[in-house]
Amino acid sequence: MTAPEGKSPHAGHRRRLRDRFLKGGSGAFADYELLELVLCLAHPRGDTKPLAKRLIARFGSFAAVLAAESERVREVEGAALAVVRAAAEWLAREEAMVKPVLSSWQALTDYLRVSMARETREQFRVLFLNRKNMLIADEVQGQGTIDHTPLYPREVVKRALEHGAAALILVHNHPSGDPMPSKADIAMTREVKDACAKLGIVLHDHLIE
């Protein structure tokens, strides 16, 4: 049986998949089914199930596909995945900003995990907070190699003053997956803390993702 003219032959399957999602959420979905829904954005008429299964087989999970570098997936799929990834990051950031950071630590770490998930090199970020410890800015201060990123205390303090920040949180990732701070990390944290203290700016923490 052929599909009516102008309609995708896979429209019924897509509708059933969408209805299942709207009624029951993502809990009962396999990874490839969630990815199949996302890929419908890139392929409005084709069958996305085989492609979804291939991507899951290649990268290992729905989350891993979303985190994959765009060069590793075809351009059209990469665009659709980037939209979902950007939406997830935006939602996580909004959640982190609605309350004082120190009272919503899980929301903050969720946001950082989403926003830094794709980084294969060390990246240093500085979170600038106001006097109520609300997030007012999140800036990347440096990109480095797989195991080193330079951070300059003078530049951190300068940006804090420009933002009118009362407190900071330093964040950087270890692409190796080892969250233990190095001796260089500890020394740099001390330098930034001392520089900030001279101007009455508090360094709350230094997180390693």
Domains in the chain, ordered, with CATH?
11-89 (no CATH), 100-208 (3.40.140.10)
DSSP 100-122: -GGG-HHHHHHHHHHHTTT--S-
List Cα–Cα distances, 74 to 17, 80, 88, 166, 192, in angstroms: 24, 10, 21, 44, 42
Arithmetic mean of pLDDT, 31-46: 76
Report the distance separating Cα 125 and Cα 138, nearest Å.
7
* Confidence category of residue 177, pLDDT binned at 50, 70, 90: confident
Report the distance separating Cα 19 and Cα 189, nearest Å.
51
Packing angle, helices 183-197 and 153-163, rounded to 10: 40
Report the distance separating Cα 30 and Cα 62, nearest Å.
9
Instruction: Say if residue 51's pLDDT is above 70.
Output: yes
Q: What is the pLDDT of residues 141-163, one digit of tens each?
A: 877 655 556 778 899 999 999 99
- pLDDT, residue 69, reads 64
Q: What is the pLDDT of residues 66-123, one digit of tens each?
A: 766 655 666 556 666 766 776 667 667 777 777 788 888 888 888 887 777 667 788 8
Tokens representing 62?
Answer: 């729905």
Tokens representing 140?
Answer: 């990347």
